[in-house]
Amino acid sequence: MARRSRRRLVVPGAEQGLSAFKAEVMRREGYTVDPSRPDDVKYEVARSLGVPLKPGDNGELTTESVGHVGGRIGGTMVREMIRLAQEQLVKQPRP
């Protein structure tokens, strides 16, 4: 049986913004992203990595192979967040 994610965002209502951010970041990485379903990009990422991820039960996949997919998406998002934060710090006036 597939386990459902229990992650909760710290900021209530941030889901839409985070999904839009994911869609934009992955689009810039060259993946085809449907803005109304940004989580589906995981299947395209999996395909590009040779991981046979499919909707539904993926119990036959190893944690390592699925981690590669999540790492590609999450790592790209984190790098972009760091870049944006650094950009904002440079723009801040110094006291």
Contact 25, 80 (CB under 8 A): yes
Domain-located, residue 42: yes
Give me the domain span that covers residue 20: 15-91
Domain-located, residue 23: yes
Over residues 37-54, the mean pLDDT reads 92
Domain-located, residue 39: yes
Domain-located, residue 10: no
Over residues 46-67, the mean pLDDT reads 93
**Residue 16: pLDDT band with limits 50, 70, 90:** confident
Domain-located, residue 75: yes
Domain-located, residue 68: yes
Q: State residue 1's pLDDT score.
A: 44
Total count of domains within the chain:
1
Q: What is this structure's pTM?
A: 0.77
Question: Mean pLDDT, the chain, as a whole number?
Answer: 88
